[in-house]
Structure 1
Amino acid sequence: MIHVALAGNPNTGKTSLFNILTGSYEYVGNWTGVTVEKKVGTLRNKKGELVDLPGIYSLNPLSRDEGVATQFLIAESFTSVLNIVDASQIERNLYLTVQLLEYGKPVIIGLNMMDVARGRGFMINETELSARLGVPVLPIVARTGAGCQELGAELAHTEHQQALTFALDYGPVLERAIKRLVDMIPDGVTLPKRWLAIQLFEGNALIRELLESHITAEQLAQLQTDTERDVCASSSDARSLPHYIRLVRGAFITGVMEGAVTRTQNETYTLSERIDHIVTNRVLGIPIFLLFMFLMFKLTFDWLGTPLSDQIDGFLNGTFADMLRSSLQAAGASNFIQAVVLNGIVAGVGGVLVFVPQIFILFFLISFIEDSGYMARVAMVMDRLMQAIGLNGKAFIPMIIGFGCNVPGVMAARTIEQPKERLLTILLTPLMSCSARLPVYSLFVGMFFVHNQALVVLSMYVLGVVVALLLAKLFSSTLLKQEGSMFVVELPPYRFPQWRTLLRSTWEKGKGFVKKAGTLIFGGSVAIWFLSYAGPGGLNVNMDHSFLAMIGGFLAPLFAPLGFGTWQAGASLIPGFMAKEVVVATMNIIYAAPDEGSLQKILATHFTPLSAYSFMAFILLYVPCLATVGVIRKETGSARWTWFSIGYALVIAYIIALVIYQGGRLLGLQ
């Protein structure tokens, strides 16, 4: 069995290739930071496993996700490395290749994006490149699958290949220091000693930590100091020891390219650059992003989603409910069972499922924007604003991911190098309006804001971002003071997404919503219905005298200043801690009771447009769902910060909803 490590720079198509070679599906996006931890899949030919490592520029880790890749090389057992190189950015990508070659394991290079390279005028002789590097080089286009079958077959031949003997000559001064350190490393260390020595001199903190368990920190520090002094004295170009190593590798890469890469045309002003001149403009960038979001919500609610949702609603609460009621009666089901199924499961789960079209349309549009390459531009556009509040543009990427689901958004914060910036991003990402809140918005905008649905939903997303930015400024100035950081982002070329990829990405994003409808929302609906069915007086009580009414009644006075001080609204908010979709399921059970009329009619008597907007804002900002809390605990490793994320969100949600409702009343709004 082979165990292959899949390594490469960010946004080189590693995850796309991983999906092709393993037949599985991992999240694919045309932007940096998609893979934030290693992922393992079985090769289609069943001859081994492929491990997809986070995209890195160097084995010297600057962030947690880069540390995952380096830690894998240190601690894991594997047979070979599949290095994906972006053919259109080959010179920069080969820097990591050199580091992997120095490790000594068999390496295969997948030369990806050959179509993009040809479009930019690069002609690459893969045979010559293979001869100069001493490893197989295969041209591929991972997006279409071209060349991937041949690459998979080549991987099978690596199981019994011998270790590489690749070694750059770093000059007499550094080579003497490398040999000296190699001699100091005990024989019990199984990792390549020369590679360890080079990585130490390059400043790799993980390697230093490993070597300090065998050699004293004082010895290592003295050796580094002496070597840097001697190297800088012998080379007028070297500013430091790591800089000298980069110069040597850069000279080697230049030599490799001189014989293997030719340019058939001069640099031109590409289509991507012409588009970027507009969409990344300092003045127009953010308005264009907001325009994209507005059009996305117009499609989701006004033009496509709402008509489909209305049809599903009519079927579930009409034809399907009548058929189910007739079937239960024909089967002799008791009144209790009929109530559980019709008033609990159908009302709860069905009330959420009606929003499936809007959820999937939104995810389809988000996937389109991601794979087109525009999302990376959004991060760059936001960088100037983010810098002003103590973060950088990279922190906005997890927030954008949080629009789909807060859980992967929090996990994506691993790509941020500065620890306090990473923590701050983790704490603020749950304020992003995830898809789980969308059913709540859909319910209220379809009732109170029929002619401005897209605009009102957009305002929720903007509100979440604005509150997060304001809190970032507050927290970075008080709780999490930090040094500034530099933002570097890969701007991939624009491309039209493939339909197969789009549909698969949409399904992978949306299936969690459907899955929750059949599990968490199903169970929550039954539990909520039972609490509304039972009370201190027994079963089948009037809902106003149920356990649910008692719980909601306790909270109602707290929410009265926010415009929704009824026991029904208070009770609806409680299960939102499990999953925000359960809020809608709960409201369908409570407000759509058979003896009270339709949901729309009942909600209209409990809410006004102003209180409905206040309620949506509260749903947006109050406590993260259970899954998000769990991943915050895992990523921060701190119960204190986890509880802080819950507590501050509740306080902020209350304040914002209070300002909206009371401010609206002062302005004469209702």
Structure 2
Amino acid sequence: MSITIALAGNPNSGKTTLFNALTGSNQFVGNWPGVTVEKKEGKLKGHKDIKIMDLPGIYSLSPYTLEEVVARNYLIQKRPDAIINIVDGTNLERNLYLTTQIIELGIPVIMAINMMDIVAKNGDKINIKKLSIELGCEIVEISALKGTGIQSAVELAVAMANSKRINLPVHRFDQIIEKELDKIKGMLPNNITEEQKRFYAIKLFERDDKISELIGKIPDVESIVTKIEEKFDDDAESIITNERYQFITSIIDDCYKRNSREQLSISDKIDRIITNRWLALPIFAIIMYTVYYISVSTVGTWATDWANDGVFGDGWSLFGIAIPSIPSLIEGLLISLGTAEWLNGLVLDGIVAGVGAVLGFVPQMLVLFFFLAILESCGYMARVAFIMDRIFRKFGLSGKSFIPMLIGTGCGVPGIMASRTIENDRDRKMTIMTTTFIPCGAKLPIIALIAGALFNGASWVAPVAYFIGIGAIVISGIILKKTKLFAGEPAPFVMELPAYHMPTLLNVLRSMWERGWSFIKKAGTIIMISTILVWFTSYFGFVDGKFMMLEDTQLDQSILASVGNAIAWLFTPLGWGDWKAAVAAITGLVAKENVVGTFGILYGFTEVAEDGVEIWGTLALSYTQIAAFSFLIFNLLCAPCFAAIGAIKREMNNGKWTAFAIIYQTVFAYLIAFCIYQIGNAVITKTFTIATIIAIIVIIGFIYLIVRPYKESKKHDVGFDNVVTSK
């Protein structure tokens, strides 16, 4: 018989770490809310009939954000066979609020107190036996990170699921409240079990509309609640919340003994510098510059040069043994098979040239992901969200908006999905629209391409691209917040900062590999299909009225050239109005890595790569530095790849909002790239044209939109068709 066990707990309590340990899955483990934005399913190692569900972190079963809705709806509608409630032992009192609610669900519950190794290290003591009696549920001590106690927890959960043993709530509210709750329980429909009735009665008492949607309105409840509110002189939800915390406080005093610590912890001492009002931003800038410098200009460059010059170039040696390159191996194989000329061209000039040009940047990406994983695991990136809240709040966003952007540095899709942590609908929409401005892993090859080809591998290109992304978010926040669509105060940002700790090598490598492998899989599927299409349309066309395969010198007559020439004029004001660059930008909509793959085919990188010194030569002769920088910025800021657009559509839940987001991103990118090229070219060449004047007017327009006073923001909310996104 199949058994389903749900993992539920507060954010940062260790659910995903426990999920990985139980299932062997490689879900990303972070230390801010929203890393798990949907429920994740896996099989218990060695037991195909036991499913483990990793639910998003929630603080209570009274949800305000979308990921809290996902977690609660699963628990009350799908009703797993058992729940393992993961509790952070270092923050026991806060975590127990959710526990008191979970026990009321009428589902077998096991509490797993996590981080017990840290509790012991701090000199604190938890009386597990007494706490178990007070709460009325079984308790197991675990350390998800070290793997201790987790087997006992899951075995106990399986045993309780098989026995159907329900934890009956042992805590009771005020006698008057309990009396009224009994009345509400008597009004509930018969399809709700006795074990569930207490939970539903409490939710109805708290005027939880979502519960009313599930079981229908019960008119008599309103009079009961109103009478209690008048008696206690408070709203119903606050009354219940206060009652819960009184119960928690009463048992904490007896069950949790803290070691008195008057000195500041190491984390507190570090935070005095890291989160300092004046030092925080410079430190963040230095750290990110260093990360990108190492990833793109030193270690990453060495590794990428080895890949381009060796694996995809002249070949390489291992312990003195000469190993041929992939292109030469494939070419030799094709010659030995005597394949047709068009097939040779497809494989060598299409697949190998396109995919090889992209895969050559994998080493740089792995280095970047390695350092980002360290920053995330040690707790620093959580501080960055706190730091950015001070800035973002001034521009209409909260620190919660920066969390999706941090996640988006790996891939824009989970970054967009992480916007579910934002309860304010306007702020969430604006975050979705701007999250992809931050360079994701797929855009790193474009950055490395431009930096290497046009700027001699300059170390400043990658960090500048990163901070331009942040600048685009800030400017967009200021401009959009002053419109009717996004008016209003930013959502409050409350976040617990985890203690600093040394990241485990396994988790860092796992995070790095998962992100890198996602990129490699894309290169083997979407990018390969795209490069085949690009090759076909590049090497076939009409000559003298006949459709035929073209020579390298005839590419200007290809199908792709015809398409590119038809749209190239759009990008002429941006400095790169030739058909090759135009086509590369368009193919980037399928997957951003396609920009490099397309150049790989059109400029024959694999042939040029045989002479390592000249690998970027063709590109460098085709564009000026300012035009190349304009190309880079446009591709970083314009509409994201199809996968990310799909995520925007899913999270917006509205076609008009999706279209608005894509149009805004593309127009914004076009205007920024236009201003960069026209002003930069005017300064370099000392010539001013009508386009220069237009660029100055655009800049003045941006400045006006930024500094103009708030007018509409004080008025009522307005949206497309007054749509409120829901899940």
Same fold (TM over 0.5): yes
1:459 aligns with 2:489: no
Which among 569, 583, 596 is matched to residue 557 of structure 1? 569
Which residue does the alignment assign to 1:199? 203
Q: Which amino acid aligns with 1:168?
A: H
Report if aligned partners of 1:402, 1:432 keep a CA contact under 8 Å in 2. Answer: yes
1:318 aligns with 2:319: no
Give 1:596 deviation, angstroms.
Answer: 8.9
Give 1:575 deviation, angstroms.
Answer: 0.8
Which residue does the alignment assign to 1:468? 473
Q: What does residue range 206-217 of structure 1 map to in structure 2 within 5 Å?
A: 206-211=210-215, 213-216=216-219
1:633 aligns with 2:649: yes
Q: Which amino acid aligns with 2:548?
A: L
Report if aligned partners of 1:87, 1:113 keep a CA contact under 8 Å in 2. Answer: yes
1:403 aligns with 2:409: yes
Which residue does the alignment assign to 1:163? 166
Deviations, residues 11-62 of structure 1 (Å, cap 9, x unaligned): 0000000111122221111222211111111112415212111111111001
Q: What does residue range 49-198 of structure 1 map to in structure 2 within 5 Å?
A: 49-159=51-161, 160-190=163-193, 192-198=196-202
CA distance in structure 2 between the aligned counterparts of 1:548 and 1:4, rounded to whole angstroms: 53
Report if aligned partners of 1:2, 1:158 keep a CA contact under 8 Å in 2. Answer: no
Which residue does the alignment assign to 2:721? none
Give 1:633 deviation, angstroms.
Answer: 0.8
Deviations, residues 449-495 of structure 1 (Å, cap 9, x unaligned): 23522x21111111111111211222222122234421101201111
CA distance in structure 2 between the aligned counterparts of 1:473 and 1:223, rounded to whole angstroms: 46
Give 1:344 deviation, angstroms.
Answer: 0.8
1:277 aligns with 2:272: yes
Which among 276, 283, 304 is matched to residue 288 of structure 1? 283
Give 1:167 deviation, angstroms.
Answer: 4.0
CA distance in structure 2 between the aligned counterparts of 1:555 and 1:485, rounded to whole angstroms: 42
CA 594–512 in structure 1, closer or farther in 2 if over 3 Å, else same: closer
Which residue does the alignment assign to 2:322? none
Q: Which amino acid aligns with 1:664?
A: G
Q: What does residue range 149-548 of structure 1 map to in structure 2 within 5 Å?
A: 149-159=151-161, 160-190=163-193, 192-211=196-215, 213-216=216-219, 219-232=220-233, 239-315=234-310, 316-319=312-315, 320=325, 321-450=327-456, 452-453=458-459, 455-478=460-483, 479-537=485-543, 538-541=547-550, 542-548=554-560
CA distance in structure 1 between the aligned counterparts of 2:252 and 2:313, rounded to whole angstroms: 66
Report if aligned partners of 1:563, 1:661 keep a CA contact under 8 Å in 2. Answer: yes
1:576 aligns with 2:582: no
Report if aligned partners of 2:184, 2:201 keep a CA contact under 8 Å in 1. Answer: yes
Which has the larger displacement, 330-339 or 477-486?
Answer: 477-486
CA 149–163 in structure 1, closer or farther in 2 if over 3 Å, else same: closer
Which residue does the alignment assign to 2:41? 40
Give 1:442 deviation, angstroms.
Answer: 0.7
Report if aligned partners of 1:343, 1:593 keep a CA contact under 8 Å in 2. Answer: no
Report if aligned partners of 1:405, 1:435 keep a CA contact under 8 Å in 2. Answer: yes
Q: Which amino acid aligns with 2:673?
A: A
Give 1:612 deviation, angstroms.
Answer: 1.1
SS in 1 for 2:167: coil
CA distance in structure 2 between the aligned counterparts of 1:331 and 1:69, rounded to whole angstroms: 57
Report if aligned partners of 1:32, 1:490 keep a CA contact under 8 Å in 2. Answer: no
Give 1:593 deviation, angstroms.
Answer: 7.4
Give 1:2 deviation, angstroms.
Answer: 2.4
Across the aligned residues of Structure 1 and Structure 2, the Cα RMSD in angstroms comes to 1.8
SS in 1 for 2:486: coil
Which residue does the alignment assign to 1:644? 660
SS in 1 for 2:37: coil
Give 1:267 deviation, angstroms.
Answer: 4.1
CA 342–595 in structure 1, closer or farther in 2 if over 3 Å, else same: closer
Give 1:210 deviation, angstroms.
Answer: 2.5
Runs of 4+ aligned residues of structure 1 deviating over 6 Å after TM superposition are 593-597
Which has the larger displacement, 556-565 or 595-604?
Answer: 595-604
CA 485–324 in structure 1, closer or farther in 2 if over 3 Å, else same: closer
Q: Which amino acid aligns with 1:502?
A: V
Report if aligned partners of 1:312, 1:354 keep a CA contact under 8 Å in 2. Answer: yes
Report if aligned partners of 2:5, 2:51 keep a CA contact under 8 Å in 1. Answer: yes
CA 618–669 in structure 1, closer or farther in 2 if over 3 Å, else same: farther
Q: Which amino acid aligns with 2:473?
A: A
Report if aligned partners of 2:452, 2:616 keep a CA contact under 8 Å in 1. Answer: no
Which has the larger displacement, 44-53 or 355-364?
Answer: 44-53
CA distance in structure 1 between the aligned counterparts of 2:298 and 2:607, rounded to whole angstroms: 34
Tell me the TM-score normalised to structure 1 length.
0.95
Structure 1 alignment gaps of length 5 or more: 233-238
CA distance in structure 1 between the aligned counterparts of 2:302 and 2:167, rounded to whole angstroms: 62
SS in 2 for 1:536: strand
Report if aligned partners of 2:109, 2:157 keep a CA contact under 8 Å in 1. Answer: no
Structure 2 alignment gaps of length 5 or more: 316-324, 687-727
Report if aligned partners of 2:294, 2:300 keep a CA contact under 8 Å in 1. Answer: yes
CA distance in structure 2 between the aligned counterparts of 1:340 and 1:402, rounded to whole angstroms: 34
Q: Which amino acid aligns with 2:19?
A: F
Q: Which amino acid aligns with 1:2?
A: I
Deviations, residues 87-138 of structure 1 (Å, cap 9, x unaligned): 0000111111111112232211111011222233311121222222221111
Give 1:268 deviation, angstroms.
Answer: 3.0
